Amino acid sequence: MKHVALAEAWTGVADCRHCTIRNAVLFAGLKEADFDQLHRPIDQLVYAPGTEIYSAGGPAHTLYTVRSGLVKLTQYLPDGTQRIVRLLRKTDLFGLEALIDDSYPHTATALHATELCRLPVDVVRALSHGNSGLYHELMARWHKALSSADRWITEFSTGAARERVVRFLIWLAEPEEGARCELFSREDLGALLGLTTETASRTMAELKRQGFIREPKPNQIVCDLPRLRQLVEP
């Protein structure tokens, strides 16, 4: 069990017009005139690893865009079981449920140091009113979330432990330049794949011994992607 570090820091007001990842974010298609409607500022924040961003059942007034870092969404069952249902990284939008419901279905927690932009739901609503471009962009975001959830089911919740771990490592290394990627605790890895911490650890250890991955420092994984792919493709 972990005890939660809790550090979030406001790092300024976003300048959405000149955002470095603007072409990939929700407001990509906005026109100059639209930005003038942004009377309320868009805050940027940094979260330390382990920080809770929002809590399942808590009031939902905000959407978030990931500028950098990694965020997990965790869902709980009545009996206390918990399962990580999604991971969000650069350019991902989460908390979309705030558009429909008034509480979040998941708990969102930073896994790495994470920069987020905070989009108040009424700002998004105001901007989207009569703006079918933004509506379409929002739907594309729902679509992305749903594809991701489906992938979670087929890739990370099906088959043997080893396959799941391998598919996940491929997912994690995918967007990185080299095959080097930053992992997180074995406990979270287990919660992600529906395995116990021990099984997650054992499987990682075995992949290391067999040379499919290296771990130069803790939670810094270097993957031999070609060989990993061979393990899960026929």
Partner DNA sequence: CGCCCTGTTGATACGATTCAAATATCGTGG
Partner DNA sequence: CCACGATATTTGAATCGTATCAACAGGGCG
- Residues forming contacts to DNA in the complex (CB under 7 A) are 1-3, 160-162, 184-187, 194-199, 201-205, 208, 215, 217-219
Nearer to its own copies, 58 or 105 (CB): 105
Kindly report the number of other CB atoms within 10 A of residue 136's CB atom. 12
3-state helix vs strand vs coil in the chain, percent to 5: 40, 25, 35
Which residues have CB under 8 Å from 18's CB, separation 6+? none
Nearer to DNA, 97 or 206 (CB): 206
The region of 24-32, 70-78, 112-120, 210-218 touching its own copies under the rule CB under 8 A is 70-78
Binding to its own copies by CB under 8 A, coded x per residue (else -) over 137-176, reads -xxx-xx-xxx-xx-xxxx-xxx-----------------
Nearer to its own copies, 1 or 100 (CB): 100
User: Smallest Cα–Cα separation from 96: which of 129, 66, 133?
Assistant: 66
Is 45 in contact with 8 (CB distance < 8 Å)?
yes
The DSSP H or E segment spanning 128 is: helix 121-128
Closest distance to DNA from the beta carbon of 1 (Å): 6
Is 74 in contact with 85 (CB distance < 8 Å)?
yes
Enumerate binding residues for its own copies (CB under 8 A). 75-81, 83, 85, 96-97, 99-101, 105-106, 128-130, 132, 135, 138-140, 142-143, 145-147, 149-150, 152-155, 157-159, 194, 232-234
